[in-house]
Amino acid sequence: MDSARRPILFVSLPESGLINPLLVLAGELSRQGVEDLWFATDEPRREDVHQASERAPVEFASLGDVTPELSAVTWPDDVYQEVTQSSRFRAHRAVIKQSYKPALQAEKFRRLREVVDKVQPALMIVDCMSGFAVDLALSRGIPFVLSVPFLPSNVLTSHNPFAKGYTPRDFPVPHSGLPRRMNLAQRVANELFRFRTLAMFFNPAMGRVLSEDARLRKELELPPPNPMTRIERAELVLCNSVAELDYPFGIPEKMRLVGAVLPPLPETSGDDPVREWLDDQASVVYMGFGTITRLTRDQVGALVQVARRLQGEHQVLWKLPAEQQHLLPAPDELPGNLRIESWVPSQLDVLAHPAVKVFFTHGGGNGFHEGLYFGKPLVVRPLWVDCYDQAVRGRDFGVSLTVDHPEGIVVDDVVDKLTRVLGEPSFRENAERIGALQRAAGGRTAATDLILGLPALV
pLDDT at residue 371 in the model: 97
Residue 360 in domain? yes
Please list the alpha-helical segments (H only) found in 263-407: 273-279, 297-310, 347-352, 365-373, 385-396
Residue 74 has pLDDT above 90, yes or no: no
What's the number of domains the chain is made of?
2
Q: Is the pLDDT of residue 188 over 60?
A: yes
Do 226 and 282 fall into the same domain? no
CA distance 125 to 236: 9
pLDDT, position 93: 94
Same domain, 433 and 446: no
Residue 222 and residue 327 in one domain = no
Q: Does the structure show a pLDDT above 80 at 136?
A: yes
Q: Are residues 19 and 90 in the same domain?
A: yes
Per-residue pLDDT at 300 exceeds 50: yes
CB 436 within 8 A of CB 245: no
Could you tell me the pLDDT band of residue 3, with boundaries at 50, 70 and 90? very low
Please check whether residue 149 is in contact with residue 18, taking contact to mean a CB–CB distance below 8 angstroms.
yes
| b/e burial code for range 246-260 (CB count within 10 A of at least 16 → b) | bbebebeeebbbbbb
pLDDT of amino acid 72: 85
For residue 150, tell me if it sits in a domain.
yes
Contact of 7 with 121, CB cutoff 8 Å? yes
- Least confident span in 6-10, 265-269, 299-303, 355-359: 265-269
Task: Decide if pLDDT at 270 tops 70.
Answer: yes
The answer for residues whose C-beta is within 8 angstroms of residue 331's C-beta and 6 or more apart is none
The CATH number of the domain holding residue 356 is 3.40.50.2000
Residue 230 has pLDDT above 90, yes or no: yes
126 occurs within a structural domain: yes
Helix (H), strand (E) at residue 251: none
Q: Are residues 339 and 420 in the same domain?
A: yes
User: How far apart are alpha carbons 87 and 193 in whole angstroms?
Assistant: 11
Query: DSSP for 66-117?
Result: --GGG-GGG--HHHHHHHTSS-HHHHHHHHHHHH--HHHHHHHHHHHHHHHH
Q: Report yes or no on 170 lying in a domain.
A: yes
Contact 447, 258 (CB under 8 A): yes
Q: Which domain holds residue 380?
A: 273-440
157 with 295, same domain: the answer is no
Residues 447 and 433 reside in one and the same domain: no
In the chain, the largest separation of any two C-alpha atoms, in whole Å, equals: 65
Confidence of residue 5 (pLDDT cuts 50, 70, 90): low
- Strand ordering across the sheet containing 123-127: 58-62, 37-41, 8-11, 123-127, 144-148, 236-239, 255-257
Clarify whether residues 183 and 320 are in a common domain.
Answer: no
169 and 236 part of one domain:
yes
Give yes or no for a contact between 100 and 200, defined as CB atoms under 8 angstroms apart: no
The per-residue pLDDT of the chain, averaged, comes to 95
